[in-house]
């Protein structure tokens, strides 16, 4: 072999490159149907609406209120291609106005399937709820104008998954207008299970 002549074989090298391309291309083709749904999926969208209210009449002159709220929790899971969106067992909802908890109640477990929507009805209630004067006056004015917006939180113990160090709860923080209106999207958080929370001035029991 003359000096400076390459001992490598160009056709052999190209064959090697071709094998590598085919190997990775074939692997990608096999994994694509499995991975694409995970990559293209989007988180579910949760919204809450107040469907009915009772016991919130401030004109009665009673110092304490015993309100009852009808709640509809809606889940839009149409952009999810892998797993359903669920509200698990032992879930409960809390309705607050300002810093005052007006009522709470259990939420039935349900799921919105893959590429589907779901909705469940619940009731939150309170007994002998005392509002400070400034909140009572503000609430009375907003009721007359039809502008009352309450905070609604839905908590699922252990709904965020369990790990070696413990479990995470799943909490939906929402706002809902009394008397209708378009519901706003809920914010989802995963605090440590059984930890007290305060988000947007909503206090949840533990």
The tokens 């919130």 sit on which residue? 56
pTM metric for this prediction: 0.73
Question: Most confidently modeled of 17-26, 40-49, 70-79?
Answer: 70-79
R_g (Cα) of the chain, nearest Å? 27
pLDDT at 157 over 60: yes
pLDDT tens for 115-134 read: 999 999 999 999 999 999 99
Domain positions in the chain are 8-40, 41-203
Question: What pLDDT score does 203 carry?
Answer: 46
For residue 52, list its beta bridge partners: 70
* Over residues 79-83, mean pLDDT: 83
Q: Is 188 exposed, middle or buried (0-12, 13-18, 19+ CB in 10 A)?
A: middle
Structure tokens at 177: 């207008």
pLDDT for res 180: 76
CA 88 → CA 58, 103, 106, 177, 191, distances in Å? 35, 20, 11, 25, 16
């Amino acid at each position: 072999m003359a000096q400076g002549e390459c001992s490598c074989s160009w056709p052999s090298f190209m064959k090697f490159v071709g094998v590598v391309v085919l190997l990775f291309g074939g692997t990608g083709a096999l994994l694509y149907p499995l991975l694409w749904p995970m990559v293209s999926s989007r988180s579910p969208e949760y919204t809450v609406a107040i469907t009915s209210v009772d016991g919130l009449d401030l004109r009665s002159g009673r110092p304490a209120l015993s309100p009852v709220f009808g709640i509809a929790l809606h889940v839009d899971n149409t952009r999810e291609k892998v797993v359903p969106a669920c509200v698990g067992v032992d879930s409960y909802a809390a309705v607050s106005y300002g810093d005052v908890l007006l009522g709470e109640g259990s939420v039935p477990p349900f799921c919105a399937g893959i590429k589907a929507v779901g909705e469940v009805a619940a009731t939150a209630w309170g007994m002998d709820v005392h509002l400070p004067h400034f909140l009572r006056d503000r609430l009375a004015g907003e009721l007359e104008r039809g502008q009352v917006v309450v905070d609604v939180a839905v908590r699922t113990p252990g709904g965020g998954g369990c790990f070696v160090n413990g479990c995470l709860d799943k909490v939906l923080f929402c706002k809902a207008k009394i008397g209708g209106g378009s519901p706003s999207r809920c914010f989802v958080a995963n605090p440590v299970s059984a930890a007290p929370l305060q988000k947007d001035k909503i206090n949840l029991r533990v």
